Amino acid sequence: MTREKYKRRLREKAAPVLFHKTLGLFGATTLGVGSLMGAGLYVLVGVAAAQAGPSLWIAYLICGGLTLLSVAMFADLSRRLPISGGGYLYAYKQLGSFWGFMVGWHLAAGSVFACALYAVGFSAYFVELAGLGDLGAVVERLLSVALVAALTFSGLRGGSGGNRIQLLFTWGNMLIILLLLFTALPSFDPGNFTPALPHGVGGIGGAISLIYISFFGYQLIANSSEEIRSSEKTAPRAMFLSLSIAFVVYVSVAVVSTAAVNWTELAGSEAPLVLVAQKGLGRLGTYVVGLGGVLASVAALNGTLVSQGRQIYAMGRDKMLPSVLGRLSKKSRVPIVAIVAGAAATTAALVLADLEFIARSANFALLFSMLPVSVALHKLFDTARKEGETISRWKRVVPWAALSANAGLLLTLDGQSLLFGGVLVGAGAVVFLSYSYSSAKRGEAGFSVALSDDERSFELLRRGERILVPMANPRTQKSLFSICQALVPPGGGEIVVLSVIGSQGYKTHRAALTETSAALEAVETMARADQFAQTRGLRFRPLMRAAKSFPDGIVHAAEEENTRIIVMGWSMRDDGSPSKILAEVASRVTSDLVFLQLSKDVDPKRVAVALGGKANLPLLVRVASALAEQYGGHVTYFNVMPLRYTSEHLGHAREIQVDALTRHTRLVPYTIELLCSDDALETVIERSGEFDLLVVGANTRAATERDPVGSFASAVAARARCSVVIVRQSPRMTRMIPPQVWALRNLRSKPVKNP
């Protein structure tokens, strides 16, 4: 029964959960238009008019033209890489993990600030529409938070509900904008266009730095590529359509607004389009624009929350962020945890930041993210040309033109925005170096499936010491489990039983877990381990990992599972040194190591410990006394000194013995011996015949790469006349360093070859 249960769980958990493809061309365009036409019209027109004056329309014209370059870039990338993740994914696949992470980090931050901006716009216009007067900044922000919560709840349900909200609010807003334009035209006053540049040309640049966020909705389409039918064709078309619609509307509104109302009045109003609407509709215009502002803000916020969740999901899927963020609900097919995380970050921005800071911060994050994407497209074109594809000259110009445009826009930001941007870049680099690099490398190298009932989403939920035991050989399985059982501390712990499946030659790691006979053999291993665990009342976590190599699988599983000790069977080369698998594991992990060289099933009534230095002493005593206690045995501690020993030799031996006895806290009988010999190895080998189990210490990390365990311990394992346990305890400072940081010693950022 257990065997069939594990087979079923393996099939279920190894099979990828995919998005529902619910969007066609109209739906994808609606997503883009709704996200484009929010704050840019109803919140930022007045702030931007304060910078550009009557030339506001020029700022929109230039910004839209420059954005067209980015759209052309994203359209080409989405056509070639139709996967959710947008700019992050494009940079990751072409430029490697560092630049991929930095793009994703800034896109996620930009989306958070954009959502906050739209939520602020909603509260301002809702208060105006409802005639609630001045409720105060705190109450208005609470309204914004309430809207974020409501739309988040709607997004968590999945299905077509969110699409209907987007459709209704986006095109309802469009109708109101058209009504606003036609009714305000009779109030057109050419005199309002003078002076054309009250703050000079720099005023236009300042306005552009504020309104760029208004043109960013096309990226949301790329983020949702996996939910778009025929995405490689539909997504690029939707990007161009949504930008074209928004561009025409933006410029039209800018022209009509500054012609109907003097720019100084627009600049001094928190709801500038109300002034424009009142010119044609009188008091009714207040309600019409209020309704339009509500519809636009909800549409933009809903679309950006959807996209934001997919952005965070894509980074979690690639383990750039915690993997719990990269899971889709099997029922709703939406990334629930990623959506909630994005909503929480948006709420924090609403509580802590003011409107102008939110807008400028969003612009920095989004502009910065575009720079590596431009280089990614150039590299993609370069690779395609080398493979024989013809790339037109104008296409080859697009990446550099977009790079120049976005870099120029970035330089128009004020000092405060650039200072915050520097902090954001620095924080992203710290997160990448301390977590994302090693986590993403593990994700590229393998994929784990836990066959237990619980998902173990959060590391903090794991209690007690955790012991990893890779199992493959049925002959040693029982003995390895016995050692693990003895090492589980009285306060509780968990044994993680690992089976590694080679994924070389398979399209994906997931496929290796479902299409190989080795996976079925691993299930048998897990079923036997389950029986051992139940018989002995142990906490047990069955884990299968597909990996490019067996050492990779063990090392990365130890890091992901945060295991303190690794217990493995011993295997060796013909010359007696550890096998390649053991040598590589020993040279890479920060966990304590316990290797078992088995001559017969472990039944250690007579346990011996060959005392050496102090490096491994705590683990030597712990393993020996725990096993002796479990089997009702006796421990013999012995040192080997030279025949012509000195007082220094004797003092050192006594010091080691006293330290060992101090650590011998279990109620197990023991004996202390002091041996004299000029050949310590031969003496240990000879004495081993008197015991059931011999425990020896390995070398520290300073050992050679070929034999990181050390020649003495390897020779004992090869020649001893009883079973041998070799232990290596990592230095305390090494154990304090997270595995993610230790992995940085191999830091290098390479493109991902297989999208």
Give me the pLDDT at residue 704, please: 44
Tell me the mean pLDDT in the region 206-222. Answer: 78
Return the closest-CA partner of residue 124 out of 135, 115, 113.
Answer: 135
Give yes or no for a contact between 555 and 709, defined as CB atoms under 8 angstroms apart: no
Region 634-656: what's the mean pLDDT? 91
What is the radius of gyration, based on Cα positions, of the chain? 33
pLDDT at position 564 over 50: yes
**pLDDT tens profile 25-65:** 998 899 888 888 865 676 678 888 888 889 889 999 988 88
Higher pLDDT, residue 223 or 30 = 30
**Rounded to 5 degrees, what angle do the CA atoms 92, 337, 739 make?**
55
Say how far apart CA 153 and CA 156 lie, in whole Å. 5
Distant-in-sequence, close-in-space partners of 433: CB < 8 Å, separation ≥ 6: 741, 744, 747
Looking up tokens 């080369």 gives 573
Q: Mean pLDDT of all residues in the chain?
A: 83
Report the distance separating Cα 266 and Cα 268, nearest Å. 5
pLDDT for res 706: 56
| Edge-to-edge strand ranges of the sheet holding 465-470 | 446-450, 540-547, 493-502, 465-470, 565-569, 592-597, 723-728, 693-697, 606-610, 634-641, 670-676
pLDDT at position 700: 66
**Among 126-130, 150-154, 265-269, 701-705, the least confident range:** 701-705
Q: What are the beta bridge partners of residue 431?
A: none
pLDDT at position 693: 94
Q: What is the pLDDT of residue 469?
A: 93
Q: pLDDT-derived band of residue 3, with 50, 70 and 90 as boundaries?
A: confident
- 468 vs 481, 530, 591, 594, 697, CA distance in Å? 10, 15, 10, 10, 19
- The alpha carbon of 607 is separated from its chain's Cα centroid by a whole number of angstroms, namely 46
Confidence of residue 511 (pLDDT cuts 50, 70, 90): confident
> How many degrees, rounded to 5, is the angle at CA 722 between CA 650 and CA 665?
55
Under 8 Å between Cβ of 97 and 749:
yes
Task: Judge whether residue 340 has pLDDT over 90.
Answer: yes
- How far, in Å, CA of 350 to CA of 301, rounded? 13
Would you say residue 357 has pLDDT above 80?
A: no
* pLDDT, average across residues 227-242: 88
CB atoms within 10 A of CB 670: 18
Average pLDDT over residues 552-564: 89
- The winner for highest mean pLDDT among 76-90, 208-222, 232-246 is 232-246
Q: Where in the chain is the domain with CATH 1.20.1740.10?
A: 25-372
* pLDDT recorded at residue 695: 94
Q: Taking residues 488-506, report their average pLDDT.
A: 84
Which residues are paired to 727 by β-bridges?
594, 697
Q: Which residue has the higher pLDDT, 258 or 160?
A: 258
**Which of 719, 681, 686 shows the shortest CA–CA distance to 599?**
719
CATH architecture of structural domain 596-733: 3-Layer(aba) Sandwich (3.40)
Ranges of H-type helices in 388-516? 393-411, 415-431, 437-445, 474-487, 509-514
pLDDT tens-digit readout, 112-124: 888 888 888 788 7
What integer is the mean pLDDT of 571-575? 77
Instruction: Band the pLDDT of 241: cuts 50, 70, 90.
Output: very high
pLDDT of residue 749: 41
Tokens of 755: 């999208």
Largest CA distance in the chain: 112
- Taking the C-alpha atoms of residue 212 and residue 40, their distance in angstroms, rounded to an integer, is 8
The answer to whether the CB of 43 falls within 8 A of the CB of 115 is no
Q: Is pLDDT at 99 greater than 50 in this prediction?
A: yes
The arithmetic mean of pLDDT across residues 234-242, rounded, is: 91
Confidence of residue 101 (pLDDT cuts 50, 70, 90): very high
Write down the pLDDT at residue 455: 52
Task: Please give the pLDDT value at position 444.
Answer: 85
pLDDT confidence of residue 708:
74
Q: Which pLDDT does position 459 carry in this prediction?
A: 44
**3-state helix/strand/coil string of 609-650:** EECCCCCCHHHHHHHHHHHHHHHCCEEEEEEEECCCCCHHHH
CB-count exposure of residue 753 (10 Å: 0-12, 13-18, 19+):
exposed
Dihedral of alpha carbons 243, 245, 248, 252, sign: negative
Mean pLDDT of 384-397: 79
Cβ–Cβ < 8 Å for 116, 359: no
CATH architecture of 25-372: Up-down Bundle (1.20)
pLDDT in tens, 408-465: 878 877 788 888 888 889 999 999 998 899 888 888 888 888 887 655 444 434 556 8
> Is the backbone peptide bond immediately before 195 cis, with ω within 30 degrees of 0?
yes
Q: In this structure, are residues 608 and 694 in contact, taking their beta carbons and an 8 Å threshold?
A: yes
Is residue 638 within 8 Å of 688, Cβ to Cβ?
Answer: no
For the segment 652-663, the average pLDDT, to the nearest whole number, is: 91
Residue with more model confidence, 576 or 276: 276
Indicate where the chain has its CATH 3.40.50.620 domain(s). 596-733
pLDDT band at 402 (very low <50, low <70, confident <90, very high): confident
Residue 267: its H or E element: helix 263-267
Tell me if 573 sits within 8 A of 713, measured CB to CB.
no
Please say if the pLDDT value at position 500 is more than 80: yes
Please give the pLDDT value at position 161. 52
Which residues, in sequence order, are bridge partners of residue 628? none
Of the chain, the percentage scoring pLDDT greater than 70 comes to: 92
In whole angstroms, give the CA distance from residue 479 to residue 535: 14
Q: Is the pLDDT of residue 388 over 80?
A: no
What is the average pLDDT across 10-35? 83
Instruction: Supply the pLDDT for residue 722.
Output: 92
Overall pTM surpassing 0.85 (yes/no): no
d(CA 78, CA 445): 25
Q: Which amino acid is at 221?
A: I
